[in-house]
A and B are shown apart, each in its own frame.
Chain A
């Protein structure tokens, strides 16, 4: 504890109670608070200047150039953006495909993660075992995952079609069918729901138990308590999973790169895959940078809208009121 601030606070309270604490010396307190706030954020600002800001600016400049990585970049003005918006239909196609993937995958992941967390927040037998079990898939990564899913989705002989066959359904060709390839990726993405499940589990610990108890005594059903108490109190965390989920889904890359290479017939040409191909296969670094900044603006606008309308449904117990 800081001796000076303690003495200050004590004398202020003695003089005229807690209310005076905020009125008296408001300017000085506000200034000290602002200073403390900026000091807290300073590490990030320093890190941004050192490691992130430069490379970001560099890529922005590159988006106005033509650069094949071998000869020096050549300034071409807005030509990349002209190609991108007017001449290259694959840009819009891949943006559409990626958006479709995000629209399907993100809400499902948000709901499934929450459901698992609520179920795994009870006092049941083998609790640690069940929690580990549902976290397990998100731990498996890299090459084994790609191989695994190629096997699960392989037409007719694969695991999924095998299971569907048991109930008499003739499964689709999944990764080889333009109509199902996105759905296959959505199913695959739900495998990694363990990460958001942990986040929900952590946030469930902050729900005051007396609220749930009071509602139970008043006769509220399990469903009503979930919808009217648990979910509203978790909205800041649901919001977090929604925003980071959308940012992540719109940058989805590895599965498309490893398993389909964008096929069949470009049906899974994710935006990041198209960007990657431009950058590291056709060596059009300038064009790829322009693509990156278009994706950046798209995600930024979506995120801004989410924040803008979050006031309507996200409940912050301890949000500072004045924003200046």
Chain B
């Protein structure tokens, strides 16, 4: 038998072993995915179609899916209207540093909550969750005052540094993933002479790869698209991130919808690229399980 960790059409797959069952199951899968896929694709197509229109074509009723004329030049115009390179670089700096910080710090903090016993562990964990529950809007002003006191306003620091201390969402998610790994693995490694740090690095981290890349993706996604924090802390144009820069297409009197859509589509590409790379981790499965049962 193969030792893959994901459901396969044959053998221990999702649908069963008989060819008829498999055929029915797979047809059902394709049917659901195709219908659902068409539904989710419509908005993207609409964005693309809007990005290729002249400004007079945008709000025609009924909607013109294939614009006449098609203006692919909108993409170039849009990228030239704003300092795209600068914004892109700023977004990249913030997102990469914030994501790295989130993954590294949260995986360590979550390990402390999930795998090590100490007094007050659960109480402190509830405190971590509690910080998710107070609405972010109410913290805007106190946080601004704090960062002004630190002289961090109009720098990228407020968007990066706090993420290096663990984020509640990632801590909670990784804690849940740690609890799905059998404790016997840790104990076996300890008996074999592994230190606690060694158990974390050699046992937990390899097994948590799918979870860690997921946290990386969701964090990348969130920071790339974040609008509120850049809006509040960044004031000079040269520091703007891409999501903030896109707002300049939405003028006070006139919104350049076609250019906005074109630039938005380009801005989405890095997140999709990261997703494409990451989802390959969801094919390998965890081979260690093969030798673990019983």
Which residues of A are in contact with B by a Cβ distance under 8 Å?
1-2, 5-7, 9-10, 13, 18, 21, 30, 32-41, 43-48, 50-52, 54-56, 58-59, 69, 116, 118-124, 127-128, 130-144, 147-148, 151-152, 157, 159, 191, 195, 198-199, 201-217, 221-222, 225, 233, 236-237, 239-240, 243-244, 247, 251, 253, 272, 275-276, 279, 285, 288-289, 292-293, 295-296, 299-300, 303-304, 307, 316-320, 322-324
B117 touches A322 (CB 8 A): yes
Q: When the two chains form the complex, which single residue of B13, B63, B183 contacts A318, counting CB atoms closer than 8 Å? A: B183
Task: List chain B positions with a Cβ less than 8 A from chain A.
Answer: 1, 3-9, 11-17, 21, 25-26, 29-30, 32-33, 36-37, 40-44, 46-47, 61-63, 105, 108-109, 111-119, 121-122, 124, 126-139, 141-143, 145-146, 162, 164-166, 169, 171-173, 176-183, 185-186, 190-198, 207, 210-211, 213-214, 217-218, 221, 225, 227, 243, 246-247, 250, 257, 260-261, 264, 268, 271-272, 275-276, 278-286, 289-290, 292-293
**Please, could you name 13 A-B residue pairs with CB atoms under 8 Å apart, sorted by A?**
A7-B193, A36-B196, A43-B108, A51-B162, A59-B134, A123-B6, A142-B246, A144-B264, A152-B43, A203-B211, A212-B12, A300-B130, A320-B114
A130 to B32, CA, bound (A): 11
Whether A205 touches B105, Cβ cut-off 8 Å, given contacts A39-B112, A137-B40, A140-B43, is: no
Distance, CA A51 to CA B229, complexed state (A): 14
From A132, A221, A276, B272 is in contact (CB under 8 Å) with A132
Contacts of A244 in B (CB 8 A): 132, 169, 172-173
Query: What's the nearest-Cβ distance from chain A to residue B207, in Å?
Result: 8
> Which 4 A-B residue pairs are closest in the complex by CB-CB distance?
A47-B165, A40-B112, A213-B12, A2-B195
The answer on a CB contact under 8 Å between A6 and B195 is: yes
Docked Cα-Cα span, A102 to B239, in Å, equals 37
Given A147-B257, A205-B282, the answer on whether A2 and B138 have CB atoms closer than 8 Å is: no
Contacts of B166 in A (CB 8 A): 43-44, 47
Question: What is the CA–CA distance of A203 and B122 in the complex, to the nearest angstrom?
Answer: 23
A10 touches B193 (CB 8 A): yes
B6 A122 Cβ-Cβ under 8 A: yes
Q: Whole-angstrom distance between the alpha carbons of A38 and B113 in the complex?
A: 9
Contact between chains at A59 and B142 (CB < 8 Å): yes
Asked if residues A303 and B108 are in contact (CB atoms below 8 Å), the reply is no
Q: Which of the residues A33, A39, A116, A203 comes within 8 Å of B177, measured between beta carbons?
A: A203
User: Given A48-B127, A201-B282, A34–B12 Cβ distance below 8 Å?
Assistant: no
Q: Complex: how many Å from CA A69 to CA B1?
A: 68
Q: Which of A51, A253, A289, A299 contacts B143 (CB 8 A)?
A: A51
Asked whether, in the complex, the Cβ of B40 is within 8 Å of the Cβ of A136, the reply is yes
For A279, the closest partner residue in chain B by CB is B137
**Contact call B134/A201, Cβ cutoff below 8 A:** no
- Determine whether the beta carbon of A13 is less than 8 Å from that of B289: no
A134 to B: closest C-beta gap in Å? 6
Query: Given known contacts A132-B275, A303-B129, what 9 new A-B pairs fall within 8 Å (CB)?
Result: A46-B165, A122-B26, A131-B282, A139-B225, A139-B275, A204-B282, A210-B290, A247-B133, A316-B179
Give the residue name and chain of the A residue nearest to B34 (CB).
Answer: A130
Residues of A contacting B109 in the complex (Cβ-Cβ under 8 angstroms): 40-41, 43-44
Q: A5-B193, A201-B282, A216-B11 are in contact. Are A41 and B112 (CB under 8 A)?
A: yes
Residue ID in chain B nearest A159 by CB atoms: B42
Q: In the complex the two chains form, what is the Cα distance from A139 to B243 in whole Å?
A: 12
Chain B nearest CB from A102 CB (Å) reads: 13
Contact between B191 and A119, CB atoms less than 8 A apart: no
- A124 touches which of B29, B182, B221 (Cβ 8 Å): B29
Closest to A36 in B: B196
Inter-chain contact A56/B131, CB cutoff 8 Å: yes
Which residues of chain A are near B115, meaning CB under 8 Å? 318, 320
Q: Determine the distance from Cα of A52 to Cα of B138 in the docked complex, in whole angstroms.
A: 12
* 8 Å CB contact of A205 from B5, B116, B141, B225: B5
A39 to B105 Cα, complex, angstroms: 12
Q: Is the CB of B289 within 8 A of A275?
A: no
Decide if A210 touches B133 in the complex (CB within 8 Å).
Answer: no
